[in-house]
Structure 1
Amino acid sequence: MYVAVKGGERAIENAHAWLAEERRGDVTVPELSVAQIREQMHLAVSRVMAEGSLYDPDLAALAIKQSRGDLIEAIFLIRAYRTTLPRFGASRPVETAGMACIRRVSATFKDAPGGQVLGPTFDYTHRLLDFALAAEGEVPPAPEAAPAAGPVPHITGFLNREGLIQQEHPFEATPPDLTREPLETPADRALRLQALARGDEGFILGLGYSTQRGYAKNHAFVAELRIGAVEVALDIPELGFAVTIAEIEVTECETVNQFKGSKVEPPQFTRGYGLAFGMAERKVISMALVDRALRWRELGEDFVGAPAQDEEFVLYHCDSIQATGFVEHIKLPHYVDFQAELELVRRMRREATAAQAEAQAMKEAAE
């Protein structure tokens, strides 16, 4: 047993060394730096920060490099590192109405107050490979563009004026912290949104798409999608007021859905909501779609059995790290378990063969 353990350790060390060699690749090609990943793979960095629940572009870029571009592995690294960090306090809710927007579009109002800002987007590209990038030449500078000046009001605020959209009430109690307390269902909306923000983008996207195909009876419009910088403020008890401690980039989406009304609510629009670190518009749109689908109970709607309406299914399966752990653990040694299964199948086959032989003998005797 001791020899086997030592042999296993040596094999693991060799696997680690081989992994490092594969990570580096051809040594005649310049090594990719953390700064290059941070600046040129911004969307990947944003996803790792969002699903890793830690806003730090440098650490996210390092995790991407260490994981050889496997974003789920990078998210795992960031989550593991996050558990080692002390917590000094909780910030005030960020004021997204005061966001310095670099992108702000609405699919519901063409002439949105504050204007539409297309920003850096793939929406209008032709999805053709740009072979000029392979030449690795200098990119022509973009025209000078500044974030939207001053606070930019939320589009849904204009629907509020006519009472056409369901009123949102502030969350009075301290929201539960999913990173410190295990998830339990039923969960309130604050906890659900935390889980969705940390959820795997592909999984949330699939669920959001399912709602558009009729699996939750919701047809959404993007009232507003915005990307920009917001200030993070922390209350300092010794000072008696809040102090801005950071400025972070976030993406926010609000959707509006038609609602025919219930016994207690008139016909009106209802909302779906998504917010994530960095540039993550596909993620937050999907979040908003799933958030709205999960609100069926509080809005008095019927449960039609759609996957996106099933809170337990959505929240327990959207986490890529938990899913990875359960799926990938089956590739690790299960020798004892399998030998037990193997012996069980052999015994069942022997019993089945004996039963067949006995039945055949009885049949022959009867003839």
Structure 2
Amino acid sequence: MYVAVKGGEKAIANAHALLAQRGRGDAGSERIGYAQVRDQMGVLVARVMAEGSLYDPDLAAKALLQSQGDVLEAVTLMRSYRTTLPRFGVTEALDTAGLASERRVSATFKDIPGGQQLGATFDYTHRLLADELTTPELPTDPLTPPSGDDAMPRVTDLLGVDALIEPDRPDDWTDPDPADLTREPTVFPMSRAERLQALSRGDEGFLLALGYSTQRGYGNNHPFAGEVRVGEVEVEFEAPELGMAIPIGRIELTECQMVNQFVGSADQAPQFTRGYGLVFGRSERKAMSMSLVDRALRAEEFSERRVSPAQDEEFVIAHADNVQAAGFVEHLKLPHYVDFQGELVLIRQLHREFEERVAAARAEGDARAERRTKKEDSHA
């Protein structure tokens, strides 16, 4: 750190004080409370929870306030706090098939069982900047989604009836213990479950760019949004002392089932294939990007050539983590005096050697020119 710089620890303490002052802003304005951030910036809070690998809207809102809106700094705070929490066990797999959807749209079928639920979305707004935000009143008889386990069957299940899409799991599939990328080292190649875990906590912007690249031809994707759902799902935990799973709460999720074209191979029939995304909170763009990249990373399963960045598992996973990326980039601000001095000495030496070679070449050229002139004079 910069402790050795003039002022030392006092300068760093002053830097902290200045940061807090800048974050507070005008002392005459009302300080923002974390509850306001939590309730009025739900999309941003969801991103911090997803990339911070910790579902807690209150903590995410506090992290955003502490970081002055810097998403990566807030994610870092969340992950740091997460490491201090005790681990009691692993919850049961979430049953998203019965996800009670506030929002459910499909780009593959106009009329689907349960209907299209538009929900809360920016998709149909005019994207015009408003001088003041207003809250319109909802109709007295708002449309409510149908209830029941079969009220909103998955679009992929409808395609699966006629074997038009690959099964959601192989016939010989077993349910292995879930890996934890926060506690275990990353080893390539990864299982699809491990990849999905890494993508779910990956940087939204990075995944968006990769997902976009697959649509532009840098990957073998021809995608359709089979279904995007946003809603709450119950979390269950099997307590050893009870011997049964009990509900411990509900969390909001966004799930995307992407349907992709596949022309088949020598041993596989033509069918649609799947890309999958599941993210904390309202995070449609992230879930869709994740599902596009998930399908691109399955190239080897379908004997497809891996020719694009989105199809390279090590490239994608190693660079999707924004905390690692930010740390490696921002560490360049830290003192590198010794390293730079070494580079400076080397560059000076190479520069001198270059000038000596140039001078020697110039002298040799002058000598050749002089000999040529003398030779021409003697002939004359």
Residue 185 (structure 1) aligned to one of 184, 188, 208: 188
Distance 1:147 1:39 in 2: 23
Task: Note the C-alpha offset of 1:263.
Answer: 2.2
Q: Is the contact between residue 114 and residue 145 of structure 2 (CA under 8 Å) also seen in structure 1?
A: no
Q: 1:214 aligns with which of 217, 224, 247?
A: 217
Q: How does 1:96-115 map to 2 (within 5 A)?
A: 96-115=96-115
Q: Distance in 2 between matches of 1:339 and 1:178?
A: 38
Q: CA RMSD in A?
A: 1.6
Quick one: which amino acid aligns to residue 123 of structure 2? D
Secondary structure at 1:259 match in 2: coil
SS at match of 1:297: helix
Tell me the equivalent position of 1:328. Answer: 330
CA distance in 2, matches of 1:346, 1:261: 60
Residue 132 of structure 1 is matched in structure 2 by 132
Contact 1:101–1:148 under 8 Å retained in 2: no
Q: 1:191-206 maps to which residues of 2 (within 5 A)?
A: 191-206=194-209
Q: Secondary structure at the match of 1:214?
A: coil
Contact 1:102 1:148 in 2 (8 A): no
When structure 1 is superposed on structure 2, of 171-180 and 247-256 the one drifting more is 171-180
Correspondence 1:318 to 2:316:
no
Q: Which amino acid aligns with 1:283?
A: K
Between 1:196-205 and 1:256-265, the stretch displaced more is 256-265
The two structures have a TM-score, normalised by structure 2, of 0.91
Q: Which amino acid aligns with 2:37?
A: I
The aligned residue for residue 300 of structure 1 is 303
Letter in 2 for 1:348: L
Point out the structure with max Rg over C-alpha: 2
Whichever residue aligns with residue 252 of structure 2, its letter is E
Could you say if the C-alpha distance between residues 147 and 70 of structure 1 is closer, same or farther in structure 2, counting changes exceeding 3 Å? farther
Seq. identity, %: 59
Equivalents in 1 of 2:120, 2:302: separation in Å?
Answer: 36
Distance 1:7 1:324 in 2: 27
Partner Cα separation in structure 1 for residue 89 and residue 206 of structure 2: 31
Q: For residues 296 and 351 of structure 1, what CA distance do their matches in structure 2 show?
A: 50
1:171 Cα offset (Å): 4.6
Corresponding letter in the other structure for 1:282: R
What code does the residue aligned with 1:316 have?
A
The Cα offsets for residues 3-60 of structure 1, whole Å up to 9 and x where unpaired, read as: 9468221111000000000111011111110000000000000000000000000000
1:149 aligned to which of 140, 147, 167: 147
Q: Tell me how far apart the structure 1 counterparts of residues 54 and 108 of structure 2 sit (CA, whole Å).
A: 33
Displacement of 1:173: 1.4
Is the 8 Å Cα contact of residues 202 and 321 (structure 2) preserved in structure 1? Answer: yes
1:248 counterpart SS class = strand
Q: Any conservation in 1 of the 2:3–2:9 contact (CA below 8 Å)?
A: no
In the alignment, is the contact (CA less than 8 A) between 1:222 and 1:254 conserved in 2?
yes
Which structure 2 residue ranges, 5 or more long, are not aligned?
372-380
2:378 is matched with none
Distance 1:237 1:327 in 2: 44
The answer on whether the counterparts of 1:234 and 1:245 sit within 8 Å (CA) in structure 2 is yes
The Cα of 1:172 is off from its aligned counterpart by 2.2
Contact 1:251 1:280 in 2 (8 A): yes
| Aligned partners of 1:100 and 1:148 also within 8 Å | no
The separation in 1 between residues aligned to 2:75 and 2:321, in whole angstroms, is 11
Q: What are the Cα deviations for residues 197-249 of structure 1, in whole angstroms up to 9, with x where unaligned?
A: 01100000000000111111211001100000001111112212100111000
- Once residues 147 and 28 of structure 1 are traced to their aligned partners in structure 2, the CA distance between those partners, rounded to angstroms, is 46
2:248 is equivalent to residue 245 of structure 1: yes
For 2:116, what is the secondary structure of its paired residue? coil
* CA pair 3-176 structure 1, distance change in 2 beyond 3 A: closer
CA drift at 1:355: 2.2
Corresponding residue SS for 1:298:
helix
Partner residue, 2:48: 48
Paired positions, count: 361
Equivalent-residue separation in structure 1 for 2:355 and 2:315 (angstroms): 42
Mapped to 2, the partners of 1:57 and 1:146 lie a distance apart of 25
Q: Whole-Å Cα distance in 1 between the matches of residues 14 and 44 of structure 2?
A: 29
* Residue identity matched to 2:198: A
**What pairs with 1:6-45 in structure 2 (closer than 5 Å)?**
7-45=7-45
Structure 1 residue 192, shift from structure 2 partner: 0.7
Structure 1 gap ranges (5+): none
Q: Which of 242, 264, 279 does residue 261 from structure 1 map onto?
A: 264
Pick aligned residue for 2:348 from 338, 346, 349? 346
- Report what 2:374 is aligned to: none
Q: Within 1, Cα distance between the matches of 2:184 and 2:336?
A: 31
TM-score w.r.t. the length of structure 1 is 0.95
Match of 2:179 among 165, 176, 181: 176
- Could you list the structure 1 runs, at least 4 aligned residues long, displaced by more than 6 angstroms after superposition: none
Indicate conservation of the 8 Å contact 1:102/1:117, yes or no: yes
